[in-house]
């Protein structure tokens, strides 16, 4: 059973997302992601207007006359949302990072559903927490939002190797994958690199401003939600520069693989960052 507060959050996210998608995101989604490619349909005799590059030489040799291959576009796309639900994603000044992820995942899911595409959800920490196979429909949208908001992970850390090894097993065909995380891990695992060569991956990093905008001038004792260890955080300028350098390195890691990440700041109008990110991706595809 869902409590009343959770139900209100789910409905509010659904309403906000529908408005944003219909007004801003849907056009970008349609332009960027047009399907999985071409599927073989049949062969027929060559005509004068056919492209000679489409000639099927094996059939031509058997029939002693030229034949061409015909293809049709595979319209339906499979979208996977991989979301990091490790304990660090409960953190956040404006909203919990996980709530931001739920809204972003809802926007992606709603865009896909309007486009007649299937969407799946994979939640991870240092293990697979939940896997929902790709489906369509409004009820599926609500399931995605609820799963992210109500997630109670049993894992305590973040292992990015885990979801991408799993993705490699369950998704044999090319998939559009959105990777949602606070990106607070050391390096991208080899499994990410392998999947990047097979699937189209769009990393969406959620950055909380309180991580780089100090609310105090001194050092603060904190408890790491993933390890349970106490740390002394230094909110000096040099410390903040290190933090920004960390995200800069992440950007470089993704771009080396030919991947353009979207960075979303945890703030009141965080959906504007997602819309801007989609526009940049759209522009990049046209170049």
pLDDT in tens, 95-116: 788 899 999 999 999 988 888 8
**CA-CA distance, 123 to 133, in Å (whole number)?**
12
The answer to whether residues 92 and 155 belong to one domain is yes
Contact predicate 147/172, CB 8 Å = no
What pLDDT score does 51 carry? 80
The pTM of this model reads 0.76
Give the three-class secondary structure for 53: helix
pLDDT tens-digit readout, 187-201? 899 999 999 998 989
The CATH number covering residue 93 comes to 3.40.50.410
Give a yes or no: residue 188 inside a domain: yes
Domain count for the chain, please give it: 2
User: Same domain for 154 and 271?
Assistant: yes
In a domain, 135, yes or no: yes
- Are residues 189 and 127 both part of a single domain? yes
Q: How far is CA 240 from CA 73, 99, 212, 214, in A?
A: 49, 25, 5, 8
In a domain, 52, yes or no: yes
Q: What is the pLDDT of residue 281?
A: 82
- 67 lies in which domain range? 37-74
Kindly state whether residues 47 and 124 are assigned to the same domain.
Answer: no
Judge contact between 99 and 139, C-beta under 8 A.
no
**Pick from 74, 103, 124: which residue ends a domain?**
74
Residue in the structure block whose two tokens are 């339906």: 76
- pLDDT given at position 218: 55
Residue 4 lies in a domain: no
Strands (E), the chain: 37-45, 67-74, 78-84, 118-124, 128-135, 176-181, 200-207, 219-223, 230-234, 262-265
Q: pLDDT value at position 15?
A: 86
- Among candidate residues 74, 102, 125, the one where a domain is terminated: 74
In which residue ranges of the chain is pLDDT below 70? Answer: 1-2, 27, 29-40, 71-76, 92-94, 210-245, 284-287
Which residues lie across from 121 on neighbouring strands? 81, 132
**pLDDT at res. 282:** 73
């Amino acid at each position: 059973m869902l409590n009343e507060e959770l139900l209100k959050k789910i409905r509010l996210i659904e309403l906000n997302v529908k408005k944003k998608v219909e007004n801003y995101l849907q056009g970008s989604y349609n332009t960027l992601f047009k399907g999985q490619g071409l599927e073989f349909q049949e062969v027929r005799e060559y005509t004068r207007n056919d492209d000679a590059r489409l000639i099927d030489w094996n059939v031509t040799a058997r029939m002693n006359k030229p034949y061409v291959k015909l293809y049709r576009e595979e319209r339906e796309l499979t979208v996977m949302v991989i979301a990091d639900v490790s304990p660090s994603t409960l953190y956040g000044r404006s909203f919990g990072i996980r709530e931001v992820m739920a809204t972003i995942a809802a926007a992606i899911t709603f865009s896909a559903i309007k486009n007649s595409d299937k969407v799946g959800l994979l939640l991870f920490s240092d293990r697979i927490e939940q896997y929902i196979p790709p489906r369509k429909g409004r009820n599926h949208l609500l399931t995605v939002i609820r799963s992210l908001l109500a997630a109670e992970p049993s894992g305590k850390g973040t292992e990015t190797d885990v979801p991408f090894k799993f993705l490699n097993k369950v998704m044999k065909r090319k998939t559009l994958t959105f990777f949602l995380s606070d990106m607070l891990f050391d390096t991208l695992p080899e499994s990410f690199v392998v999947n990047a060569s097979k699937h189209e991956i769009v990393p969406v990093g959620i950055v909380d401003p309180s991580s780089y905008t100090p609310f105090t001038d001194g050092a603060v004792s904190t408890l790491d939600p993933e390890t349970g260890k106490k740390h002394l955080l230094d909110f000096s300028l040099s410390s903040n520069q290190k933090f920004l350098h960390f995200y800069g390195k992440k950007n470089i890691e993704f771009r080396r693989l030919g991947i353009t990440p979207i960075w979303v700041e945890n703030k009141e109008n965080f959906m504007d960052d997602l819309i801007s990110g989609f526009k940049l991706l759209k522009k990049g595809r046209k170049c």
